[in-house]
Amino acid sequence: MSDELVWDKIRPLPESMLQGYSSLRKVDCDDTESIGKLLKKLVVLKLNGGLGTGMGLGTVGPKSLIRVRDGATFLDITISQIENLNEKYDVSVPIVLMNSLNTDDETKNALKKYKGSNVEVLTYLQSYYPRIDRETLLPYVKDYQNVDNNEGWYPPGHGDLYESLYNSGLLDKLIEQGKEILFISNIDNLGATVDLNILSHIVKSGCQSQFIAEVTNKTRADVKGGTLIDYNGCVKLLEYAQVPAEKVDEFKCVKKFKIFNTNNLWINLNAIRDRVMKGTLDRDVIVNHKTLDDGRNIIQLETAVGAAIKNFAGAFAINVPRSRFLPVKHTSDLLLVMSNLYRLHEGMISMSPERMFPTTPLIKLGAEFKRIQHFLKRFQSIPDLMELDHLTVTGDVHFGRNVSLRGTVIIIANHGERIDIPPNSLLENKIVSGNLRILDH
């Protein structure tokens, strides 16, 4: 466990540790031979241990199996991306899924439909640790042979990736196949696609860049996102959970902490094996306090995959376009991705060229929309959001077909009242109140 953070030692990343994406040499996408050589060194790993709790799914199934666009799940989209990449450049980039105790069985069952795919999909199970009773500081687990008791066990964060990958035997297997670079990302980040410019930069740098983290400019929506800092001359990941209570406002300040971590990481496979075998992978431990359904207070000790950056030679960050960070954590994110703001082509989600502004609208949906099944029932069809800037919806609100929302739209249904937005409605800079009065905003 790392020493306690000394706040006064924190510095912004210097230019030597932070590179702009625009400065990377652009790859000629038509040079299939050169790109093929690059891709033969690549492995794509998706963090697939999460459940859809942020969308009200509780402990029901892997989040990666939620349908997010045109009937396709996160897993479908991921595999489609690599299928098209492999076909276009005549390569065999594999996908590795790091599953948790909560997602392993259902993910393996879902993978059966891809047997005819040109993508090799490999899986491994990350570690699981016993929860700790906060009162007694003893393990919550009573029967260590019964791992089916999910209440007693937990996945210790995605920082467990390195040892679990090594212990599974997959790390050695991939290196023996000539793989050199591991591209890691969250499976729910639809912007985390294989970037040939970054891959080329890493390969051409040789062993000088063993670990590259993608960061992007922080906005007000990202104030709780982890960031990379200079700490005693090294790159270090600072997570929100590590920030002292009296420093939270400072941490949220966009002027001081201008970037945040996307969790898109590019790491040298041989360097991972070397660090694991030597036992030199130091990561900060985050103490996570939780309350179980039975009311018992427990402690979970977790680590983040990006926290290992300080252990690798030549580690630095690349400030990438915002388009490489498109996470779907809540139904408000899902509304954006399902709308006409985005297009899905060959497994790639991209913003529609018809959108006049490069930024996405700010969407806030009330508690009535949190559960995905309730969210879907409230839209006869997803509204046209092409010219939307800001949407706030609270209360019992339902949308008819072919609704268009533009500018700033606020819809508030009072307790006990229901608002039905009629089919074919156009709301532009409007406030809709509980009795369906429509006011100019």
Tell me which residues are annotated as active site.
Answer: 329
Residue 153 to residue 101: CA distance in whole angstroms:
9
At 105, list the tokens: 């069985």
CA distances 79 to 75, 84, 113, Å, are 6, 9, 11
Distance of CA 205 to the CA centre of its chain: 27
Where do the H-state alpha helices sit in 46-97? 74-89
Q: Which of 410, 339, 408 is nearest to 375 (CA)?
A: 339
At 124, list the tokens: 């491994």
3 state SS of 350: strand
Residue 270 to residue 79: CA distance in whole angstroms:
25
The DSSP symbol for 202 reads H
Q: How many of the other CB atoms lie within 10 Å of CB of 299?
A: 15
Tokens 């790091």 correspond to 98
- 135 burial class (0-12, 13-18, 19+ CB within 10 angstroms)? exposed
At 426, list the tokens: 């156009």
CA distances 231 to 17, 144, 187, 238, 258, Å, are 12, 40, 29, 10, 16
Residue 301 to residue 320: CA distance in whole angstroms:
31
**Residues counted in the chain:** 441
